[in-house]
Amino acid sequence: MSEVLLWVVGVLAAAAGVALSIALHEVGHLLPAKRFGVKVTQYMVGFGPTLFSRRRGETEYGLKAVPLGGYVRMIGMFPPQPGDAPGRVRASSTGRWALMAEEARQASFVEVGPGEERRTFYRLPVAQRIVIMFGGPFVNLVLALLLTAVASSAIGTPGLVPTVSAVSQCVLPAGTTATECGPGDPPAPGAAAGLRPGDVVLSFAGEPVSGWEQLSDAIRTSGGRTVPVLVERDGRRVELSATPVLTQRAVLDERTGEATGQVEEVGFLGVSPSVAVVRTPLSQVPAVVAEQVEGVAGIVLRLPQRLVDVAQAAFGSEARDPNGPIGVVGIGRLAGELNARPAIIPGDELAERTSRLVSLLAGLNVALFVFNLIPLLPFDGGHIAGALWEVVKKALFRLRGRPDPGPVDVAKAMPLAYGVSLVLIGMSALLLYADIVRPVTLG
């Protein structure tokens, strides 16, 4: 298959994955809403003109032209003000912000028919409202866990393993550009210990070796000490001893992997790892996803600065941060590059490409999970925050001996929701432009 065709297949696979992730997110809202008796009038994937729809019972299911989101429309999302009949806008609501809130209340009651007042969203107990609004992000979290398990545990990903691929014959001075041993270069500890290519390191310094990263750390901290090394060679176990030498090596930035200009003294053995398919134990999948959630949450917390960096890259000469935010166009381009990139391990290229795309979609669902929990409207987290505030408010009223204040009027936050929506539109436009003129590419 040609590189161009592979690129197109990757883009189409990512688009289908994004659409399916959004559709299942909305199912996470739809099912508990129907289970709790709320009238759901629409389930839509996308925005803009409707391309296809079909009514099943009281709900219209459809697909819209711009598949960049979706929504489930439930009646009575916002409570009426005390003394108001549902759906009636107060004549005294003349202020711009107050009118926005009143119009939101009215829109939420347009489809409330006679006798359906008890099927409104706002009448549900707080716990049920939280379940409905958390249902969408929860589905994305479950998808992230499942997709990560498929990519890293079922298929596996290329990684470094503690099987020796090469053994250095000498210790080259730090900072040198030489690749061959000179007459004055000391012998490398690995070669002196008798290590050979193909040896599988089973234990080092008395500790079992589970992966190359662990072995590398153990070597770096064992400089100047003679330690036992157990390897498997040609089906049998061989006991060796090695003395890693202390040598100066450049300190690398943990985030970028680039040299910081500083040096540190660490142990050096002089062996290189092999590349093989590495399968993560299922028990470690939650920790992998949790680390991704933490990373995306960090991006969200620093989003203003991150967007400034994107703008400087798009309109200036700054380099685009590969760990920064990207838009849907950027996701598609990355998917195309991932699928067109040659396999690292010769053999089953289809499995490796599938693992890459599935991992990308897992990361996308992590992002959907985190972003939708932002405690502001129009995100799901805004409704969750309103429900939690209602619990706190009612508890405070009870402590003061005051009557039940009723549901929290989330509609009052609609002006802020419109502001957040404008920010999201601006952010999407910036990311779209940046993804076109200065895209994030694979290194």
**Has residue 304 got a pLDDT over 60?**
yes
Average pLDDT over residues 310-322: 84
pLDDT digits (tens, 9 = 90+) for 105-154: 777 777 778 888 889 998 899 999 999 999 999 999 999 999 999 999 99
Q: Work out the burial of residue 402: count CB atoms within 10 Å of its CB; fewer than 13 is exposed, 13-18 middle, 19 or more buried.
A: exposed
Domain boundaries in the chain? 136-153+282-443, 158-278
pLDDT digits (tens, 9 = 90+) for 22-81: 999 999 999 999 999 999 999 999 888 899 899 999 999 999 888 778 889 999 888 876
**Percent of the chain, pLDDT > 70?**
90
**Has residue 90 got a pLDDT over 60?**
no
For position 288, what pLDDT does the model report? 93
What crossing angle do the helices spanning 349-372 and 285-301 adopt, rounded to 10°? 50
Which long-range contacts link 224-232 to residues 24+ away (Cβ below 8 Å)? 224/267, 228/203, 228/204, 229/193, 229/195, 229/201, 229/203, 229/204, 229/205, 230/201, 230/202, 230/203, 230/204, 231/164, 231/195, 231/199, 231/200, 231/201, 231/202, 232/199, 232/200, 232/202
**Has residue 179 got a pLDDT over 70?**
no
φ/ψ of 238, rounded to 5, equals -125, 130
Q: What is the 3-state secondary structure (H, E, C) of the chain?
A: CCHHHHHHHHHHHHHHHHHHHHHHHHHHHHHHHHHCCCCEEEEEEEEEEEEEEEEECCEEEEEEEEEEEEEEEECCCCCCCCCCCCCCCCCCCCCHHHHHHHHHHHHHCCCCCCCCHHHCHHHCCHHHHHHHHHHHHHHHHHHHHHHHHHHHHHHCEEEEEEEEEEECCECCCCCCCCCCCCCCCCECHHHHHCCCCCCEEEEECCEECCCHHHHHHHHHCCCCCCEEEEEEECCEEEEEEECCEEEEEEEECCCCCCEEEEEEEEEECCEEEEEEEECCCHHHHHHHHHHHHHHHHHHHHCHHHHHHHHHHHHHCCCCCCCCCCCCHHHHHHHHHHHHHCCCCCCCCHHHHHHHHHHHHHHHHHHHHHHHHCCCCCCCHHHHHHHHHHHHHHHHHHHHCCCCCCCCCCHHHHHHHHHHHHHHHHHHHHHHHHHHHHCCCCCC
- Give the Cα separation of 162 and 411 in Å (integer): 58
Structure tokens at 342: 């040659």
Residue 261: HSE in the Cβ half-sphere, 13 Å Cα cutoff: 0
- Give the Cα separation of 252 and 334 in Å (integer): 25
- Residues known to be catalytic: 26
pLDDT digits (tens, 9 = 90+) for 186-220: 888 998 999 999 999 999 998 999 889 999 999 99
Average pLDDT over residues 428-435: 89
* Residue among 100, 87, 289, 270 at smallest CA distance from 169: 270
- Give the Cα separation of 274 and 164 in Å (integer): 6
More confident position, 24 or 247: 24
Average pLDDT over residues 220-244: 91
What fold is seen in the domain 158-278? Pdz3 Domain (2.30.42)
Angle ∠(352,197,277) on CA atoms, nearest 5: 15
pTM of the model: 0.82
